[in-house]
Structure 1
Amino acid sequence: MNLTKKGFLGFLVFSLLLMFVSPSTPYASAASAGINLNVKSAIMVEASTGKILYKMNENEALPPASMTKMMTELLVLEAIKSGTKKWEDKVKTSEYGYFMGRYGGSRVYLGMGEERTIKELYEAMAIYSANDATVMLAETLAGTEENFVKMMNQKAQEIGMQGTHFVTSSGFPAEELGEFAPSDTSEHVMSAKDAAILAREIITKFPEALQISSIPKKWFREGESGQVKMDNWNWMLPELVYGYEGVDGLKTGHTDAAGYCFTGTAERNGIRIITVIMGAGSEAERFGETRKLMDYGFSNFKMMSMLPKGQTIDGFEQAEVKKGKELSVEAVPEKEVVLPVRVGDENNYKPVVKFNEVMAPVEKGQAIGKVNVEYTGQDGFEFLRPTDEQAAQINMVANQEVEKASWIRLFFRAINSFIAGIFGGIVDTISGWF
């Protein structure tokens, strides 16, 4: 074998090796991003679109501690919205609630038979992470915590949380629940990605939840015997010790198994981000690592209007119309397309339009296709879920009416097309002779 052949074979082997060791995903930059976090897993997403801006071990299922309560919050909020429960509904404390009021970590010391409203219990859970309030909400919605946990796991599947399994409503260690320990002895886990999905569900569908999660302190049983001062465990609220501008949620968590966890959210300059860190080593570290993420997010990304509502897109101004008086119709985006964009990367996006087969008559505002804004640079982004990516596709709609053509118009149009087709064929044939 000569040197030329040996060199070619060596190059071929090297190229094949590169194919196997190179990252298989186009989203590597979102994973590295130059941030060094001392946590087990983390993720950062833009809230309105679900686009991932940073990720690290985001699919690893880990103990979430009290971040579990975000699911309890979501189910309570849904019950209130549907009308099956009201904020003013009274809840009588059961033996389980009383047990948690004595031994359940963060708690508001619910007394046996004590009655409190759903609103009071929700605030105790969302602000103070009260475990006794949480289990009473679970029992109120489902009769027993066991039934409620089934609802939690079902909802997790519905919204695309693939790395989650709940065992309790609060995230309190099941082995410490004594006679109230669940029969399910499997692991209670949630991934950072799933925590972001859950937080986004709350923020986008129930933004009013942030009005409660942003309360720095509140009294439980205010003015009554046994009042409890509830200091918010989210110390990144602007008024508290690790205050950060724009932070208004969402949920902390800590157990020996989970370490220190935090699902945070903040809004600045028109962009809202959600951050999740799991497995930090201390109270201060979970907020410090979150600050790193938020600093990176707000410094490097901004929301940008890509396509204005109701304005034509260059190259996609018209859609073909079949059997219409006119042969085409002006097409425009149904609504404005706004996306998170890396600063300095604004020109690496292009609209991609796919029109449907449009048949007359056409009404103004009728959906006639889809438009998606694709990233053309080297470092792409992914979405939390396929449904979020699908939601990023916006309808293209007709900007005018097109009436159906009469049969006589269609007849002569067909004759013209036929003659044009014959003439074109003759020209092609003659051209072929030369």
Structure 2
Amino acid sequence: MLALPSGNQAEAAPAGINLEVKSAIMVEPTTGRILYKMNENEALPPASMTKMMTELLTLEAVKSGKISWDDKVKTSEYGHWMGRYGGSRVYLGLGEVRTVKELYEAMAIYSANDATVMLAEHISGTEENFAKLMNQKAAEIGMDNSYFVTSTGYPASGLKQFIPNAEGDNLMTAKDSAILAREIIMNHPEALEISSIPRKFFRGEDSPQKVRMDNWNFMLPSLVYGFEGVDGLKTGHTDAAKYCFTGTAERNGMRIITVVMGAETEAKRFAETKKLMTHGFNNYKMQTIATQGKEIEGFETVEVRKGKELEARAIPERNLVVPVRIDDEANYKPVVTTQEVIAPVKKGQSIGKIGVEYSGEDLQEYLRPTDQEQVMVQLVAKEEVEKGGMVRLFFRAIKSFVVGIFDSITGMF
């Protein structure tokens, strides 16, 4: 189990952070632990941060084999309209053919709306069908306060003849944005290889129709607001959303995800993100609570019934690593729960679980209820334990019976 002080909530306003945004959150992705939050459940227009869901569904479709990076996609009337009028775009021509990989890069690096629409149509036939898939995926991964009607985040009311047959417009919370970003980073880390590209030319640098795609994430280390370790993930801007940014960075073995929504200017969204990231890296680190293959003091063995041996040596199946506040490390320790184990026992067989017991005062919370449970790791048998023979088990039972009687008699005096 994961034992935490009762009533804990994530830190809402740590010293030194005064964010000028509508909502924000900071999360450690391997555990889903929230390190900071502010109005994190307020549903707001996400603008092009919507495209993170299109990225996720594209990555999943490629991974499952439904589509391929090399698939050729022919630009539809809708894609071409977006290429003429749709904000950030790579000017797709009517009938122009581009690969899924080219379109994905244009979306992830340059936030190209025309490329995004074509990915949606390639996967689901129409953007309307794709929006249904977006909402299904949101429900599946615990994005409880989000709603999608377009693949791009482009204002639905501005789509002219392509206005979707749905009520309202895209909405997403800072918390849901973090859940979505975490899903991409943890299950599709290759996405960061593309989101970290500072610039690239669509159609190739030598093409007369080339489009220079400068990454809108100006916090990439080589760009104007460069911050060490930043390699993603997605910006967004519309008049309604103002300036938004879901960022991620890794330093010294620790990754964090930050979300800011509703900043007044482009520079402000990066300045507020910098505040969050600086606080995160200056005040937290990853700590190993239990080491793979190394016995835990006080929990070295687990009782085995009907075995040739009475106990099995027990070790963690993998490392148990959690984010901790610096100077608070001593308040974390492993706690083990075991299950009934009956021989024979195979080497590597699960015989219990390892969680974290925390006795300090640091406030803690997780993105989803299941995240706290998933922090736990399996306790497994270090070696096999054979089933005991009939004679051995018979005499062991006799011994236990006699000892029991003796203990009962002794207890009478």
CA offset digits 1:249-294 (Å, max 9, x no partner)? 1000011111110000111111111100011111010000000000
**Conserved? CA contact 1:41–1:279, under 8 Å:** yes
Name the SS for the 1:108 alignment partner.
Answer: coil
Partner Cα separation in structure 1 for residue 87 and residue 57 of structure 2: 22
Give the structure with the higher percent helix. 1
Q: Which amino acid letter does the alignment assign opposite residue 289 of structure 1?
A: E
Partner in structure 1 of residue 270 of structure 2: 287
* Alpha-carbon shift at residue 31 of structure 1 (Å): 2.0
* SS in structure 2 of the partner of residue 359 of structure 1: coil
Segments of 4+ moved more than 4 angstroms: none
Deviations 1:199-242 (A, max 9, x none): 11111111111111111111112222322111111011111111
Corresponding residue for residue 31 of structure 2? 49
Aligned counterpart, 1:40? 22
In 2: Cα distance, 1:206 partner to 1:273 partner: 16
For residues 9-408 of structure 1, what are the structure 2 equivalents within 5 Å?
25-28=7-10, 30-34=11-15, 35-222=17-204, 223-408=206-391
* Residue 386 of structure 1: how far off its partner (Å): 2.5
Q: Which structure is higher in RCO with an 8 Å CA cutoff and minimum separation 6?
A: 2
CA distance in 1, matches of 2:19, 2:379: 42
Whether the 8 Å CA contact 1:330–1:399 is kept in 2: the answer is yes
* Counterpart residue identity of residue 360, structure 1: A
Residue 54 of structure 1 and its aligned partner are, at CA, apart by 0.9
Q: Look up the SS of the partner of 2:281 in the other structure.
A: helix
Change (3 A) 1:24 1:38: farther
What secondary structure, in the 3-state scheme, does the structure 2 residue paired with 1:150 have? helix
Give 1:32's aligned amino acid. Answer: A
Give unpaired runs (5+ residues) of structure 1: 1-22
Shift of 1:186: 2.6
AA aligned opposite 2:135: N
What is residue 4 of structure 1 aligned with on the other side? none
Structure 1 residues 78-113: Cα deviation after superposition (integer angstroms, max 9, x where no partner)? 111112211121111111011111111111111111
Q: TM-score of the superposition, structure 1-length normalised?
A: 0.91
Counterpart secondary structure, 2:207: coil
The question of whether the paired residues in 2 share the 8 Å contact of 1:101 and 1:109 is answered with yes
Which of 1 and 2 has greater Rg? 1
- Identity percentage of aligned residues: 67
Distance of 1:325 and 1:92 partners within structure 2: 67
The two structures have a TM-score, normalised by structure 2, of 0.96
1:187: how far off? 3.7
Q: Give me the whole-angstrom Cα distance separating, in 2, the residues matched to 1:124 and 1:428.
A: 79
- Amino acid across the alignment from 1:33: P
Which segment is superposed worse, 231-240 or 82-91? 82-91
Task: Please tell me the residue identity of whatever aligns with 2:384.
Answer: E
Offset at residue 24 of structure 1 (A)? 8.1
Q: Does the CA contact (< 8 Å) of 1:364 and 1:398 recur in 2?
A: yes
CA distance in structure 2 between the partners assigned to 1:90 and 1:325 by the alignment: 62
Q: CA RMSD in A?
A: 1.4
Greater CA drift, 287-296 or 359-368: 359-368
Distance 1:329 1:121 in 2: 54
Aligned residue pairs total 407
Cα distance in 1, alignment partners of residues 309 and 123 from structure 2: 58
Residue 7 of structure 1 aligns with which residue?
none
Please say if residues 27 and 379 of structure 1, whose CA atoms lie closer than 8 Å, have aligned partners that are also in contact: no
Greater alpha carbon shift after TM alignment, 43-52 vs 130-139: 43-52
